[in-house]
Structure 1
């Protein structure tokens, strides 16, 4: 276990800074960067392949949100320390938060090519 000894008089920001400056901070930062890269690469590769905006967004979310439960199972079955499953567990939490946030953001941003696609009016 990662042990962090803190004084009782530290503020919340100082406590967060102490935790994030250690090994946990490195794990969280690396997980964030992996997800950001996944969303970006998914979107750019879909754009290069000529997909429309709505399809680019779907592919970006699919690439950025990958299943981390396999990582947890492999880590705990091949290593003795339960701490090896921590990156995969953080990966799952951050994956869900970032993917849901991106989908929520894109829900309210009109796709740039939606004006080009014809709409069908039902009478």
Structure 2
């Protein structure tokens, strides 16, 4: 019961907001790169760069300028979630190459 009340309370709202923030960052980064005419590899790199913004700065600013350490909680949660999401997206894209479906990641490494 206690875990359920945490997830459906304020902590759940913070986690949902962080997930939406980083998802939007990955999507907007990819979309803007596509609209600018970048190639697939560049789109993915820009998407990951936009989606994985530095949440550590939020922790430092929150603990410096506010008395309560709880103010840094959203930034700390954001740092963990952005690392999980960015790593997962990079892993997924590593093995899913729509631009050349016949080329495996190992073959791409040999070409480079």
Mark yes or no: TM-score above 0.5. Answer: yes
Aligned to 1:61: 48
What TM-score results when the alignment is normalised by the length of structure 1?
A: 0.78
Give the greater-gyration-radius structure (CA). Answer: 1
Distance between the aligned counterparts of 2:96 and 2:2, measured in 1?
A: 37
- Are residues 1:99 and 2:89 paired? no
SS in 2 for 1:80: coil
- Are residues 1:30 and 2:13 paired? no
What is the aligned-residue RMSD (CA, Å)?
2.0
Distance between the aligned counterparts of 1:48 and 1:99, measured in 2?
A: 22
How does 1:7-86 map onto structure 2 within 5 Å? 14-86=1-73
Size of the aligned set, in residue pairs, is: 105
SS in 1 for 2:87: helix
More helix as a share of residues: 2
Unaligned stretches of 5+ residues in structure 1: 1-13
Distance between the aligned counterparts of 2:38 and 2:98, measured in 1?
A: 12
Unaligned stretches of 5+ residues in structure 2: 103-107
